[in-house]
Amino acid sequence: MQAAITYTSDEFLTTYFVYVSGEHISAAKAEVNALIHLSKSDAVLNWDGRIGLMDSQKNMIPFLLERAALVKEAGLVLTEIDEQDDLIESLSDDVLKNNIGSDETFSVRTISTSEGASAAERLDFESRLGAHISQVVGSRVNLDYPKIRILVIFSKKHVRVCKSVASKLRPMLRSRESGRKPFFHPSMMNTTLSRVMCNLVRVVPNEVVLDPFCGGGGILCEASFIGARTVGIDLNWRLLTGSKVNLSSIGNNYNLIQGDVRRLPVSMCDSIITDPPYGRASSTRGAQAIDLVEALFGDVDSILRRRDESICICGSQEMNLQDLAERMGLVVNQVLQIRVHSGLVRELLTLSV
């Protein structure tokens, strides 16, 4: 189920924040931007390192936390203080009392986006603020399982005291990682990247997502968790059977076809999310992977009914998919570098017909 987008007052803008994971920062920012676009908000995010700040009438935080793979936590900015002011003195008692109940436990953590505050200063501030909140509100500190998480963000000019909610999706993505699925194959796409790819093309429930190199179904499983109807095609019967096992464990809104990407028997799809074969993990039965992608790009016009940014493909840098897509008349919307490990960088492209 997709989280409802809730509304705050129509009259007042509220400042929200997101704190993204450091593993793929440019992909994280692109993912958040895509989801904000999907929620039809005109909020503009201003980024300071891994923190995104936005003023908005819509509270998109529950939606972002439910959808985004690379958002670690997000929430409401309670107050913003100039860096030179005394933080605790500037913090209004009412703000604290309105946001933390006397019977609710809380934690205080700090992060810094600049060199400003040292780790020791931040630690000292955490314990002073914790004591101050206990005294003003009457609530107790619980660092392990707090009901309310206060996050203090130090930046170059400001200190922001925020009420934060941790992502529940990220632990779920870890729990359904490829190795923990009913069927596993080393060529399968991992859950975090699969989810990011679905978000970049703004998949919505009930739309039809095609993976023409579906293998064991890593990408299609995440599309299914979002509520999409999935179509998977693969040359390899054994992997297709594995995909069936994995997708059946989520629901029954899928179709799988044994076939060749060079002769795709499909149309009326909303988006294509895929990763062509590369490396030793997946066989092409003698074909060149780039020729297979070229065949796919040649067909997307007749397969897709969405004309916006509806294709997301992950390939190796050597494939130079951007060049190929442009030569074949597709619009390249985004190219994101994904560092898999020290020697391996992969490229995520989003394209429109």
What residues line the site for ligand SAM (CB under 6 A)?
187-189, 211, 213-219, 233-236, 239, 260-262, 274-275, 277, 282-284, 287, 292
Looking at beta carbons only, is 168 or 285 nearer to ligand SAM? 285
Nearest approach, Cβ of 68 to ligand SAM (angstroms)? Answer: 19
Rounded distance between C-alpha atoms, residue 350 and residue 314, angstroms = 9
Looking at beta carbons only, is 126 or 211 nearer to ligand SAM? 211
**Joined tokens for residue 161:** 């005291």
Looking at beta carbons only, is 64 or 264 nearer to ligand SAM? 264
Nearest approach, Cβ of 220 to ligand SAM (angstroms)? Answer: 6
Q: Strand locations in 69-122, DSSP E?
A: 71-82, 106-112
Looking at beta carbons only, is 101 or 259 nearer to ligand SAM? 259
DSSP 186-231: TTSPPHHHHHHHHHHTT--TT-EEEETT-TT-HHHHHHHHHT-EEE
Tokens 């963000």 found at: 153
Q: What residues form DSSP beta bridges with 146?
A: none
Helix axes 191-200, 218-226, angle to 10 degrees: 60
Nearest approach, Cβ of 256 to ligand SAM (angstroms)? Answer: 12
Residue 224 · residue 230 · CB < 8 Å: yes
Helix segments in the chain, DSSP class H: 25-38, 61-67, 87-90, 93-99, 119-137, 169-175, 191-200, 218-226, 237-248, 289-303, 321-327
Nearest approach, Cβ of 304 to ligand SAM (angstroms)? Answer: 18
Nearest approach, Cβ of 186 to ligand SAM (angstroms)? Answer: 9
Looking at beta carbons only, is 73 or 275 nearer to ligand SAM? 275
Coil/strand/helix, residue 285: coil
**Joined tokens for residue 206:** 């009930």
Residue 68 · residue 167 · CB < 8 Å: yes
Nearest approach, Cβ of 271 to ligand SAM (angstroms)? Answer: 14
Looking at beta carbons only, is 155 or 274 nearer to ligand SAM? 274
- Specify the pairing of strand 229-234 against strand 208-211: parallel
Looking at beta carbons only, is 107 or 194 nearer to ligand SAM? 194
Nearest approach, Cβ of 71 to ligand SAM (angstroms)? Answer: 22
Nearest approach, Cβ of 291 to ligand SAM (angstroms)? Answer: 9
Looking at beta carbons only, is 166 or 287 nearer to ligand SAM? 287
